[in-house]
Amino acid sequence: MKMDIIKELLTELETEGAITRKMLALVPEDRFDWAPHSKSMTLKQLATHLAEIPSWYALAVDQDELDFNEGAYQPTSIANTTELLALFEKSYQAGKAALQRLPEAALDKPWVMRGGDAVYLDTTKYGMVRHAFAQTIHHRAQLGVFLRLLDIPIPGSYGPSADEMEQ
């Protein structure tokens, strides 16, 4: 039996989306400007970035490269948690639609992320989709640490969190 890679990616998107949605809902807008370290993103920057990542699937499907030096990509500005969640839903739907229209035969087509001559990622369309999933998990874990440092109980991702175990 042949595995349906697109179906598997859509299932993973649904699973990761549900976890991400729970985490983003906890972001306190009165702490948007907070950062745990001078080299860290602010809470707002991190949460916005995380909310936008599902739209990267559309970049992988509809483009063959992203060049940050061309200025086509700009982070979305949000003012509150409601807008953050709306941004995530918009990104999620765009990403889902992109994966649904991605022909499996195009998965091995080259894809590049660059800043002019500097190449940050040289992969395939499938590799870019996997990179976006990895970025979601990575930045969601960062958000969990940020929330923990703010004494906000966090939900579990792949099982109960320490906060949920105490209940």
Binding-site annotation: residue ranges for a divalent metal cation: 49, 139
**Rama region for 2: left / alpha / beta (φ>0; ψ in -120 to 50; rest):** beta
Tokens of 107: 């998965």
Q: Nearest to residue 139, comparing CAs of 80, 67, 51?
A: 51
H-type alpha helices, the chain? 5-24, 43-52, 56-62, 81-101, 125-149, 162-165
Annotated binding-site positions: 49, 139
- Encoding tokens for residue 99? 């994966």
